[in-house]
Chain A
Amino acid sequence: MRLACQTIGSEELTSTLKPLTATDSHRLGLLTSLDGRQLVALVLDLKGRTAGLVRCELDQCHYSSLTPLIPQAHWFERALKDLFGITPAGHPRLKSNFVPEAFEATLAPLRSAGDRGKLAGEPPRDFRFLRVGGEGVYEVPVGPIHAGVIEPAHFRLSCLGEFICNLELRLGFLHRGVERRLTEVSWPNARFVAEAASSDTAAGNALAHAIAMESLLEVEVSPRARHLRTLALEVERIAMHIADIGGLGVDLGFLGVAAGLSRLRGAAVGLADLLSGSRFMRGYICPGGVTLAEGGRLSQLRAQAQKLRRDVRGFVQMFLDNASVQERLTDTGKVSRGLARDFGLVGVAARASGIAYDARQHFLHGDYPPLAPAPAVERGGDALDRTRVRARELETSFSILEAVLDEEFAGECAVALPQALPANEAACGIVEAFRGELIHLIFTDARGRISRYAIKDPSFNNWTGMAIAARNNLIADFPVANKSFALSYSGHDL
């Protein structure tokens, strides 16, 4: 959607944003900057199904941190420091999590090149770990390279006996400069970079990108494209929810179910292949519609989805009914509803903690909100409830597939796009990807080029949840808790 902008003074920041984010009907979607000389907040109005920008010019490279009063801002403020060199003075735990130590200390990659001189007096990025003191406390360092086939990050566990006192996350190892690259490529090619933010969410990223671009270009897609996009988004959700439940099976040593689910993920990826020609639906969703006509393959898709649904249901039920699984997952990696709300968790992790937020109910993407299912909400906030949420969402996703396949596929696959982007505009695309709320926010400059492209992966919000969940858990349960969140590293590090 196109975004209106309200400009305020820096002294009004907290007083403006606090009431906007303190209620359940509003969220802080993003807090970032364009080139380091201002702060821009994207505020989502869930009830009004809309969003708006709040902008505040900065004369200096620092401002008074919002985090003490608005905890949702805390991860965003770390990103401001890393990417723009802006210091949120008074942030309770400012550390570097986006640009690794290997890069030069003064690098602020998204700050405008002519404006780096101002950074001279500012403190450099901080890489110190939080130390837990006391007799018998020891540290377990894990990563950045992990034992499995999984993305890299460093975890430092401070433990007392078998229990974790504190988990320190150090991310950023996958920093590839995606956001800056998105402002360098020509806009018709931006979709390939946007997808590569995190390719397990290729359909979600491509859809958020397409919606933002279509808002800028004032283009409306056909019902056919809407339906095909919905299918793509739900096929991705099905494939990844199966993978994530199966991954938990691996970590618990329940290998029969894990092997079965890894095969069924293969079948779900087969649906993606059938729909788009790519197992990850790379390059499928584009601004204007989708790139491949469905041909006569939808009936095949329906039949395969129905069979997959039966198989998945059986395996997931076997998993959830197993007494060892229940014992291991209950109360493991717990996040209370209060903390989940304060820190603005999204997606599966939020719904498992009792927060009924599913972006499909609020924001236009694909056939949503009209076809949006009721959010799958659980109360316990532990690994078991996150698995239950996934299990329930698998069912609703299959139902959505069937409902969409019953619709009439009218219109073109893709409509033609105008030649140029409008000048000085801002638009965003908000999508409920399989991990949760995914936001792409695009600004254009006076010449109609993309001047700033911000991506907020659902994992951006939820890594905080992982850090909370690890506390007071057994070390042996840490991989299980981590897997139950199943967060993205690349989508976070960009």
Chain B
Amino acid sequence: MLKLLFYLIKNGCLTQRKICPSLDEPALGLPRLVPGKNWTEQAARRCAEACPTQAITAGDRGGESPSASPALTLDLGKCIGCMLCLKVCPSGFIVADRSTRTATTRREDLVLSPRSLPGPQEALPQKEAAGGLFGKSISVRVVSTGCSACDLEVAAAFNPIFDAERFGIHLTASPRMADVLLVTGPAGRGMHEPLKRAYEAMPEPRIVIAAGTCAISGGVHAGNYSQADGVGAVLPVDIFIPGCPPHPWSIIHGIMEAMRLPLDRARPGSSLNAP
């Protein structure tokens, strides 16, 4: 025991001080479309063909008008971060984005196009978090339905390096004590009923976070006979954290977004019959 104490004191505080920093190379991150960068239909199609999860769509550019649907889209909710698109598209309209502030509150915000580019995300002020739905403290019940990478990253978010607890985030063993149901994995048919039961057991207001590409869209499993098409097919999702798996900082970012949700976001009486 003394040895342990000695070691812990000698090494001092090992927790990262900078909150949600961008990652360093060679970390791959997620792809991003560069605003204003010229792109050709041909190159966009090559990217779309290379993408193993159909996260990129490339259409006809000729009739592009502000009202038409964009000819090029990149859906981070389907992206597994393999970066094949970057490899086949050297012209540079898709680049690696190493930001860990990747969570969104709307599914459509994950669908990037050259027109609707989100501005640079502002730093996350902790003061603001205090005013949100769950103020300074939030309890999270994690349900795994996938390949365990996201679960390991959730667990890592609570290790001494990232230390999610310092932000008022707690893991709870029971859905009855949880504000948030954080679901990882594509939620195949075998998990539909357990997920619904866990959700129904939670007190209101309650929030569902889909953590990871599988949870958002089914990822590589989407459209299979197992109905593993993401949590959204089973529960109403409030926060989306893309990545395969998302970085622990992205997971913390997503949970902090949940803390910042405005009070009217609470869904009293939200029923599973109309997700």
CB within 8 Å of B: which residues of A? 100, 102-103, 107, 109, 144-145, 147-152, 172-178, 180-181, 185, 189, 192-193, 196-200, 202, 243, 256-257, 259-260, 262-263, 265-266, 269, 273-274, 276-280, 282-283, 292, 295, 297, 314-315, 318, 488-490, 493
Query: Are A280 and B142 in contact (CB-based, < 8 A)?
Result: no
The answer to whether A173 and B147 touch (CB under 8 A), given A282-B81, A318-B3, is no
A109 to B225, CA, bound (A): 8
Is B14 engaged at the interface, CB distance under 8 Å to the other chain?
yes
Query: Are B144 and A149 in contact (CB-based, < 8 A)?
Result: yes
Selected A-B contacts with CB under 8 Å, 10 pairs: A102-B189, A103-B189, A147-B174, A175-B226, A176-B226, A177-B226, A193-B220, A279-B245, A282-B244, A283-B80
Is B88 engaged at the interface, CB distance under 8 Å to the other chain?
no
**Which of B83, B193, B244 has the most chain A CB atoms inside 10 A of its CB?**
B244
A314 to B10, CA, bound (A): 13
* Interface residue from B4, B155, B193, B245 paired with A149 (Cβ < 8 Å): B155
A425 to B3, CA, bound (A): 58
- How close is B172's CB to chain A, nearest CB, in angstroms? 9
Query: Are B185 and A174 in contact (CB-based, < 8 A)?
Result: yes
Query: Are A150 and B144 in contact (CB-based, < 8 A)?
Result: yes
Q: Chain B: which residue is nearest A178 at the CB level?
A: B221
The 8 tightest CB contacts between A and B, nearest first, are: A199-B149, A100-B190, A147-B173, A177-B226, A262-B159, A189-B52, A277-B26, A177-B224
| Residues from chain B with Cβ under 8 Å of A262 in the complex | 155-156, 159-160
| Residues from chain A with Cβ under 8 Å of B14 in the complex | 263
A273 to B171, CA, bound (A): 26
Query: Are B189 and A199 in contact (CB-based, < 8 A)?
Result: no
Is B152 engaged at the interface, CB distance under 8 Å to the other chain?
yes
| Residues from chain A with Cβ under 8 Å of B173 in the complex | 147-148
- How close is A475's CB to chain B, nearest CB, in angstroms? 17
- How close is A401's CB to chain B, nearest CB, in angstroms? 18
* Interface residue from A145, A283, A295 paired with B26 (Cβ < 8 Å): A295
Query: Are B145 and A149 in contact (CB-based, < 8 A)?
Result: no
Binary CB contact string for chain B from 130 to 167 against chain A (1 if under 8 A, 0 otherwise): 00000000000011111111011111100111000000
Contacts A149-B144, A196-B214, A314-B7 aside, 16 further interface pairs with beta carbons under 8 A come to A102-B192, A103-B189, A149-B171, A150-B151, A151-B144, A173-B145, A173-B191, A174-B190, A181-B220, A189-B52, A200-B149, A263-B160, A265-B159, A282-B149, A297-B26, A490-B185
A259 to B81, CA, bound (A): 30
| Residues from chain A with Cβ under 8 Å of B194 in the complex | 144-145, 152, 173
A390 to B120, CA, bound (A): 45
- How close is A295's CB to chain B, nearest CB, in angstroms? 7
- How close is B141's CB to chain A, nearest CB, in angstroms? 8
Is B263 engaged at the interface, CB distance under 8 Å to the other chain?
no
| Residues from chain B with Cβ under 8 Å of A277 in the complex | 25-28
- How close is A31's CB to chain B, nearest CB, in angstroms? 23
A269 to B162, CA, bound (A): 13
The answer to whether A176 and B224 touch (CB under 8 A), given A260-B4, A279-B247, is yes
* Interface residue from A100, A176, A260 paired with B7 (Cβ < 8 Å): A260
A147 to B174, CA, bound (A): 7
* Interface residue from B82, B144, B245 paired with A280 (Cβ < 8 Å): B245
CB within 8 Å of A: which residues of B? 1, 3-5, 7-8, 14, 25-28, 52-53, 80-83, 142-149, 151-156, 159-161, 171, 173-174, 185-186, 188-194, 198, 214, 219-221, 224-226, 228, 244-245, 247
- How close is B213's CB to chain A, nearest CB, in angstroms? 10
Query: Are A192 and B82 in contact (CB-based, < 8 A)?
Result: yes
* Interface residue from A152, A200, A259 paired with B159 (Cβ < 8 Å): A259
Query: Are B189 and A100 in contact (CB-based, < 8 A)?
Result: yes
CB-based A-B contact count at 8 angstroms = 166
Query: Are A181 and B147 in contact (CB-based, < 8 A)?
Result: no
Query: Are A266 and B221 in contact (CB-based, < 8 A)?
Result: no
| Residues from chain A with Cβ under 8 Å of B52 in the complex | 185, 189, 192
A263 to B173, CA, bound (A): 22
The answer to whether A198 and B228 touch (CB under 8 A), given A263-B159, A277-B26, A277-B27, is no
Query: Are A292 and B82 in contact (CB-based, < 8 A)?
Result: no
| Residues from chain A with Cβ under 8 Å of B4 in the complex | 256-257, 260, 318
* Interface residue from A193, A278, A493 paired with B28 (Cβ < 8 Å): A278
Query: Are B191 and A152 in contact (CB-based, < 8 A)?
Result: yes
The answer to whether A176 and B27 touch (CB under 8 A), given A149-B155, A198-B148, is no
| Residues from chain B with Cβ under 8 Å of A265 in the complex | 156, 159
Query: Are A200 and B148 in contact (CB-based, < 8 A)?
Result: yes
- How close is B211's CB to chain A, nearest CB, in angstroms? 11
**Which of B156, B159, B245 has the most chain A CB atoms inside 10 A of its CB?**
B159
The answer to whether A102 and B151 touch (CB under 8 A), given A266-B161, A279-B247, is no
**Which of B27, B144, B155, B225 has the most chain A CB atoms inside 10 A of its CB?**
B144
A173 to B154, CA, bound (A): 20
- How close is B228's CB to chain A, nearest CB, in angstroms? 5
Query: Are A176 and B186 in contact (CB-based, < 8 A)?
Result: yes
- How close is B33's CB to chain A, nearest CB, in angstroms? 20
Query: Are B26 and A200 in contact (CB-based, < 8 A)?
Result: no
* Interface residue from B26, B53, B81, B188 paired with A174 (Cβ < 8 Å): B188
A493 to B145, CA, bound (A): 11
| Residues from chain B with Cβ under 8 Å of A278 in the complex | 27-28, 81
Query: Are B146 and A263 in contact (CB-based, < 8 A)?
Result: no
| Residues from chain A with Cβ under 8 Å of B247 in the complex | 279
A279 to B152, CA, bound (A): 10
Q: Chain A: which residue is nearest B4 at the CB level?
A: A256
Q: Chain B: which residue is nearest A151 at the CB level?
A: B144
A274 to B23, CA, bound (A): 12
Query: Are B161 and A196 in contact (CB-based, < 8 A)?
Result: no
**Which of B82, B143, B171 has the most chain A CB atoms inside 10 A of its CB?**
B82
| Residues from chain B with Cβ under 8 Å of A176 in the complex | 146, 186, 188, 221, 224, 226, 228
A265 to B158, CA, bound (A): 12
A448 to B69, CA, bound (A): 39
- How close is B3's CB to chain A, nearest CB, in angstroms? 6
- How close is B49's CB to chain A, nearest CB, in angstroms? 10
**Which of A148, A196, A489, A490 has the most chain B CB atoms inside 10 A of its CB?**
A196
| Residues from chain A with Cβ under 8 Å of B224 in the complex | 176-177, 180-181
Query: Are A490 and B148 in contact (CB-based, < 8 A)?
Result: yes
* Interface residue from A196, A243, A283 paired with B83 (Cβ < 8 Å): A283
| Residues from chain B with Cβ under 8 Å of A148 in the complex | 173
